[in-house]
Each structure stands twice: as C-alpha cells, then as structure tokens.
A = this chain, B = another copy of it.
Amino acid sequence: MDVSVRIYGDKRSGNCYKLQLLTSFLGKTIDWVNVDILKGESRSASFLEKSANGKIPILELDDGRVLSESNAIMHYLASGTHFIPTSPYAFSLLLQWQFFEQYSHEPYIAVARYINIYLGLPDSRRAEFEDKQAGGYQALAVMEKQLTQTPYLIGNTISLADISLFAYTHVAHEGGFDLSAYPGIRNWIGLIQSQPNFVPMYV
C-alpha cells in the first residue's frame, strides 16, 4: 500500500476525520479531494459514478477501485496493524462498536452537530435538533458504561473502535451535548489525544 491515499471528503466531517486521524497514526498522508456536501458535490454525476450512495468519505485506489463507508475504509487502511485485533471475539467487538457508532451514535450526535454547526441551527430544524438529544445521551451512556470498565472500548489497547467513536464524541458539545457527567468518556478522550501522532480535527 502506498504511504499516500486518495480520499474524497470534507475535513469538517467527523466521518472524514476518522481517516485523517487513522492515517496520521499509521504514518500515511492523505491526498484530499475536497467535496462540499453543502454545495451538493457528493450528489454530482461525477461523484455518483464513483460511489452510487453519494456520501463522503470515499477512498480511491490507484487502479480506480473505490471504497465507501468511513468505518469500512478504516479496515482497509489499517489491515494487518495493531488497530485491528485478530481474535474472533475481540474483532467482532470492534465491529460491534463501529456498527453502534453508525446506527446509535452518529444519527443523533453527528446530525445534531451538523444542524447546529453546518446549518447554524435554523428554526426549521430546531425541533429535529432537540429530538436528537435523547438518543445522543443514550449512546453516550452506553459508551460511559464501557469506559468506566476498560480504558479503551475493547480493552486495554486502542483500536479502530476508539478512532471511530472519538470522531464525533469529542465534538459532541457542538451538537449540544454536555459531557460533564461522563468522566469515563472524558478520560478516554484525553487518552486518545495523548497518542503519538494525534492530530486534531480541521487540520
């Protein structure tokens, strides 16, 4: 695999930040192709030809093959590294947290943040923003329960699960979520931020 990978995305997106953080940990660089979702660029004909679901980020290989879904791209980029445990149970736990992230966390915390930060919390979306709060806090409670038992989500070492969930959790306040009652999560955020080669969002 090359040390530079081509990603189509938007650096403000947490789903794209997952790849930025992972590649930094792995010592790879990203050749970014900016896609502005607010301008509809992820629904353009040329983008849809690459990835029919019209969502960022996507990874494009040198031979033109494409992968979509941030969490799936992470597995490709980190294949064979210590970010992916090899025992079937630990590996399935890693996937459990990534599916949790996409189904039970991102649709609440990331969408609330999107409405607030990208769209400026317009009156027309305020009810939806408020509807996202209960589900977001439920997701945080699930994480908190685990992170008071183990330092990382699947045990004593960092994995893709932590990177996937760090992306939107550490900016949950931008979606209106108060982490002060979640000491396990706050401790874990500090652990991720103290990793060698950590890079903050937006860089």
How far, in angstroms, from A72 to B92 measured CA to CA in the complex?
Answer: 5
A132 CB to nearest B CB, Å? 14
Q: Say if the beta carbon of A53 comes within 8 Å of chain B.
A: yes
Which of A68, A73, A107, A141 has most B Cβ within 10 Å? A68
Asked, given contacts A141-B52, A145-B52, whether A71 binds B89 with beta carbons under 8 Å apart, the answer is no
A100 neighbours in B (Cβ, 8 Å): 53, 68-69
Contact of A67 among B65, B79, B96 (CB under 8 A): B96
A79 neighbours in B (Cβ, 8 Å): 88, 91-92
A73 neighbours in B (Cβ, 8 Å): 92, 96
Contact with B along A141-165 (1 / 0, CB 8 A): 1100110000000000000000000
Asked, given contacts A52-B141, A52-B145, A142-B53, whether A99 binds B102 with beta carbons under 8 Å apart, the answer is yes
> Are B91 and A53 closer than 8 Å at their CB atoms?
no
Contact with B along A114-125 (1 / 0, CB 8 A): 000000000000
A72 neighbours in B (Cβ, 8 Å): 92-93, 95-96, 98-99
How far, in angstroms, from A88 to B80 measured CA to CA in the complex?
Answer: 9
A52 CB to nearest B CB, Å? 5
Which residue from chain B places its CB closest to the CB of A105 in the assembled complex? B53
Q: What would be 30 A-B contacts, judged by CB atoms less than 8 Å apart?
A: A52-B141, A52-B142, A52-B145, A53-B100, A53-B138, A53-B142, A55-B104, A61-B89, A65-B89, A67-B93, A67-B96, A68-B100, A69-B95, A69-B99, A69-B100, A69-B103, A72-B93, A72-B95, A72-B98, A72-B99, A75-B91, A75-B95, A76-B91, A79-B88, A99-B99, A99-B102, A102-B102, A102-B103, A103-B103, A107-B107
